[in-house]
Amino acid sequence: MADLKAVDFTQEEPWRIFRIMSEFVEGIEELSKIGPAVTIFGSARTKPGEKYYKLTEAIATKLVKAKYAVITGAGSGIMEAANKAAKKAGGKSVGLNIDVPVVQKPNPYITHFIDFRYFFCRKVMFVKYAKAFIVMPGGFGTMDEFFESITLIQTERISPFPVILVGKDYWKGLLDWMDDKMLKGNRISRKDLNIFKVTDSPAEVIKIIKDFYKK
Protein backbone atom coordinates (compact mmCIF):
# COMPACT_ATOMS: atom_id res chain seq x y z
CA MET A 1 0.00 0.00 0.00
CA ALA A 2 1.42 3.39 -1.04
CA ASP A 3 2.27 5.82 1.71
CA LEU A 4 -0.12 8.73 2.02
CA LYS A 5 1.56 12.09 1.42
CA ALA A 6 1.41 14.51 4.31
CA VAL A 7 -1.09 17.27 3.72
CA ASP A 8 -0.71 20.77 5.17
CA PHE A 9 -4.35 21.59 5.81
CA THR A 10 -3.53 25.23 6.52
CA GLN A 11 -2.79 25.60 2.81
CA GLU A 12 -6.27 24.41 1.83
CA GLU A 13 -8.78 26.97 0.56
CA PRO A 14 -11.17 26.93 3.59
CA TRP A 15 -8.27 27.92 5.88
CA ARG A 16 -7.98 31.21 3.99
CA ILE A 17 -11.15 32.30 5.81
CA PHE A 18 -9.34 32.02 9.15
CA ARG A 19 -6.36 33.99 7.86
CA ILE A 20 -8.75 36.72 6.69
CA MET A 21 -10.56 36.69 10.04
CA SER A 22 -7.27 37.00 11.89
CA GLU A 23 -6.35 40.12 9.92
CA PHE A 24 -9.69 41.75 10.72
CA VAL A 25 -9.39 40.82 14.42
CA GLU A 26 -5.83 42.17 14.70
CA GLY A 27 -6.71 45.36 12.80
CA ILE A 28 -9.83 46.08 14.85
CA GLU A 29 -8.10 45.28 18.14
CA GLU A 30 -5.21 47.65 17.41
CA LEU A 31 -7.00 50.51 15.66
CA SER A 32 -9.98 50.70 18.00
CA LYS A 33 -7.59 52.08 20.61
CA ILE A 34 -6.07 54.96 18.65
CA GLY A 35 -8.97 57.43 18.78
CA PRO A 36 -9.89 59.89 15.99
CA ALA A 37 -7.62 59.44 12.99
CA VAL A 38 -7.06 60.68 9.45
CA THR A 39 -5.69 58.52 6.64
CA ILE A 40 -3.16 60.00 4.22
CA PHE A 41 -2.54 58.40 0.81
CA GLY A 42 0.06 59.24 -1.83
CA SER A 43 2.98 58.04 -3.89
CA ALA A 44 5.72 55.90 -2.36
CA ARG A 45 8.08 57.39 -4.96
CA THR A 46 7.98 60.95 -3.61
CA LYS A 47 11.44 61.94 -2.35
CA PRO A 48 12.31 63.84 0.84
CA GLY A 49 12.54 67.54 0.14
CA GLU A 50 10.13 67.47 -2.79
CA LYS A 51 7.13 69.80 -2.79
CA TYR A 52 4.48 67.23 -1.89
CA TYR A 53 6.71 65.50 0.66
CA LYS A 54 7.08 68.77 2.57
CA LEU A 55 3.40 69.57 2.13
CA THR A 56 2.50 66.18 3.61
CA GLU A 57 4.73 66.85 6.60
CA ALA A 58 2.98 70.17 7.19
CA ILE A 59 -0.47 68.55 6.98
CA ALA A 60 0.43 65.67 9.30
CA THR A 61 1.86 68.08 11.86
CA LYS A 62 -1.35 70.11 11.86
CA LEU A 63 -3.44 66.95 12.18
CA VAL A 64 -1.56 65.90 15.32
CA LYS A 65 -1.99 69.39 16.78
CA ALA A 66 -5.72 69.02 16.05
CA LYS A 67 -5.69 65.78 18.12
CA TYR A 68 -5.84 63.31 15.23
CA ALA A 69 -3.77 60.16 14.78
CA VAL A 70 -2.24 59.76 11.33
CA ILE A 71 -2.72 56.53 9.35
CA THR A 72 -0.73 55.60 6.23
CA GLY A 73 0.11 52.54 4.18
CA ALA A 74 3.45 52.33 6.07
CA GLY A 75 5.73 52.71 3.04
CA SER A 76 8.10 55.33 1.74
CA GLY A 77 7.44 58.68 0.02
CA ILE A 78 4.23 60.42 1.06
CA MET A 79 3.57 57.73 3.67
CA GLU A 80 6.98 58.24 5.21
CA ALA A 81 6.50 62.02 5.26
CA ALA A 82 3.17 61.68 7.09
CA ASN A 83 4.45 59.17 9.63
CA LYS A 84 7.65 61.14 10.22
CA ALA A 85 5.83 64.40 10.92
CA ALA A 86 3.20 62.72 13.09
CA LYS A 87 5.81 61.01 15.23
CA LYS A 88 7.94 64.15 15.49
CA ALA A 89 4.86 66.11 16.62
CA GLY A 90 4.26 63.57 19.38
CA GLY A 91 1.19 61.99 17.80
CA LYS A 92 0.12 58.46 16.98
CA SER A 93 1.76 57.40 13.72
CA VAL A 94 0.00 54.34 12.31
CA GLY A 95 1.26 52.17 9.44
CA LEU A 96 -0.88 49.54 7.73
CA ASN A 97 1.65 47.58 5.71
CA ILE A 98 0.84 45.25 2.80
CA ASP A 99 2.72 42.05 2.01
CA VAL A 100 3.17 42.11 -1.77
CA PRO A 101 5.66 40.47 -4.20
CA VAL A 102 7.32 43.86 -4.74
CA VAL A 103 8.48 44.10 -1.14
CA GLN A 104 7.45 47.27 0.68
CA LYS A 105 9.80 48.15 3.50
CA PRO A 106 7.94 49.90 6.32
CA ASN A 107 9.29 53.35 7.13
CA PRO A 108 10.95 53.80 10.57
CA TYR A 109 8.52 56.44 11.88
CA ILE A 110 5.60 54.19 12.80
CA THR A 111 4.40 53.91 16.40
CA HIS A 112 1.51 51.50 15.66
CA PHE A 113 2.22 48.86 12.99
CA ILE A 114 -0.05 46.22 11.45
CA ASP A 115 0.92 43.88 8.61
CA PHE A 116 -1.66 42.69 6.06
CA ARG A 117 -1.64 39.97 3.45
CA TYR A 118 -5.00 40.89 1.91
CA PHE A 119 -5.61 44.26 0.31
CA PHE A 120 -9.33 44.24 1.09
CA CYS A 121 -8.76 43.71 4.82
CA ARG A 122 -6.33 46.63 4.83
CA LYS A 123 -8.80 48.80 2.91
CA VAL A 124 -11.54 48.15 5.46
CA MET A 125 -9.18 49.33 8.22
CA PHE A 126 -8.31 52.51 6.31
CA VAL A 127 -11.99 53.43 6.02
CA LYS A 128 -13.36 52.13 9.31
CA TYR A 129 -11.07 54.14 11.56
CA ALA A 130 -10.61 57.34 9.52
CA LYS A 131 -12.46 60.58 10.13
CA ALA A 132 -11.15 61.84 6.77
CA PHE A 133 -9.08 60.80 3.75
CA ILE A 134 -6.32 63.09 2.51
CA VAL A 135 -5.22 62.12 -0.98
CA MET A 136 -1.84 63.43 -2.06
CA PRO A 137 -0.45 62.98 -5.61
CA GLY A 138 0.13 59.30 -6.30
CA GLY A 139 -0.19 56.40 -8.69
CA PHE A 140 -2.57 53.47 -9.19
CA GLY A 141 -2.85 52.61 -5.50
CA THR A 142 -3.69 56.18 -4.58
CA MET A 143 -6.29 56.37 -7.35
CA ASP A 144 -7.78 53.10 -6.15
CA GLU A 145 -8.23 54.40 -2.61
CA PHE A 146 -9.65 57.72 -3.82
CA PHE A 147 -12.22 56.23 -6.17
CA GLU A 148 -13.22 53.49 -3.76
CA SER A 149 -13.89 56.01 -1.00
CA ILE A 150 -16.02 58.31 -3.13
CA THR A 151 -17.88 55.30 -4.58
CA LEU A 152 -18.74 54.05 -1.09
CA ILE A 153 -20.02 57.51 -0.17
CA GLN A 154 -21.91 57.94 -3.46
CA THR A 155 -23.67 54.59 -3.07
CA GLU A 156 -24.33 55.24 0.64
CA ARG A 157 -22.49 52.14 1.75
CA ILE A 158 -20.69 54.29 4.32
CA SER A 159 -21.56 57.57 5.97
CA PRO A 160 -20.08 60.65 4.29
CA PHE A 161 -16.74 61.93 5.58
CA PRO A 162 -14.23 64.45 4.19
CA VAL A 163 -12.24 63.28 1.18
CA ILE A 164 -9.63 65.90 0.30
CA LEU A 165 -7.42 65.99 -2.79
CA VAL A 166 -4.23 67.97 -2.19
CA GLY A 167 -2.41 69.44 -5.19
CA LYS A 168 -4.60 71.39 -7.58
CA ASP A 169 -2.09 71.23 -10.43
CA TYR A 170 -1.68 67.47 -10.10
CA TRP A 171 -5.40 66.69 -9.99
CA LYS A 172 -6.56 69.25 -12.57
CA GLY A 173 -6.40 66.90 -15.57
CA LEU A 174 -8.39 64.19 -13.80
CA LEU A 175 -10.99 66.66 -12.53
CA ASP A 176 -11.38 68.21 -15.98
CA TRP A 177 -11.88 64.73 -17.45
CA MET A 178 -14.46 63.84 -14.78
CA ASP A 179 -16.36 67.04 -15.58
CA ASP A 180 -16.12 66.70 -19.36
CA LYS A 181 -16.61 62.93 -19.73
CA MET A 182 -18.41 61.72 -16.63
CA LEU A 183 -20.65 64.67 -15.76
CA LYS A 184 -21.45 65.88 -19.27
CA GLY A 185 -21.82 62.27 -20.40
CA ASN A 186 -24.46 61.74 -17.70
CA ARG A 187 -22.40 59.08 -15.89
CA ILE A 188 -22.44 61.00 -12.61
CA SER A 189 -24.44 63.90 -11.16
CA ARG A 190 -23.23 67.33 -10.11
CA LYS A 191 -23.64 66.45 -6.43
CA ASP A 192 -21.23 63.53 -6.88
CA LEU A 193 -18.45 66.02 -7.57
CA ASN A 194 -19.20 67.61 -4.20
CA ILE A 195 -18.24 64.44 -2.34
CA PHE A 196 -14.61 65.59 -2.31
CA LYS A 197 -12.71 68.87 -1.95
CA VAL A 198 -9.50 70.11 -3.58
CA THR A 199 -6.90 72.35 -1.96
CA ASP A 200 -3.21 73.23 -1.75
CA SER A 201 -3.34 74.54 1.82
CA PRO A 202 -2.55 72.52 4.97
CA ALA A 203 -4.61 75.01 6.98
CA GLU A 204 -7.58 74.53 4.67
CA VAL A 205 -7.30 70.75 5.01
CA ILE A 206 -7.80 71.09 8.76
CA LYS A 207 -10.59 73.63 8.28
CA ILE A 208 -12.48 71.30 5.89
CA ILE A 209 -12.34 68.49 8.45
CA LYS A 210 -13.33 70.69 11.39
CA ASP A 211 -16.17 72.36 9.48
CA PHE A 212 -17.54 68.98 8.41
CA TYR A 213 -17.80 67.72 11.99
CA LYS A 214 -19.29 70.97 13.29
CA LYS A 215 -22.42 70.33 11.22
Q: Which amino acid appears at position 135 of this protein?
A: V
Per residue in 164-195, pLDDT (tens digit) is 999 999 999 999 999 999 999 999 999 999 99
Q: Which amino acid appears at position 34 of this protein?
A: I
Q: 13 by DSSP, 3-state: which?
A: coil
Tell me, what's the pLDDT at 16? 85
**Does the structure show a pLDDT above 90 at 73?**
yes
Per residue in 10-22, pLDDT (tens digit) is 567 778 888 899 9
Class of domain 36-214 (CATH, top level): alpha beta
User: CA of 70: how far to CAs of 38, 60, 211, in Å?
Assistant: 5, 7, 19
Per residue in 47-67, pLDDT (tens digit) is 999 999 999 999 999 999 999
- Distance between CA atoms of 196 and 33, rounded to whole angstroms? 28
Given its phi and psi angles, is residue 90 left (phi above 0), alpha (psi -120 to 50 degrees) or beta? Answer: left
Per residue in 132-172, pLDDT (tens digit) is 999 999 999 999 999 999 999 999 999 999 999 999 999 99
Residues above pLDDT 70, as percent of the chain = 93
36 and 67 Cβ atoms separated by less than 8 Å: yes
The values of phi and psi at residue 138, to 5°, are -165, -170
Tell me, what's the pLDDT at 11? 65
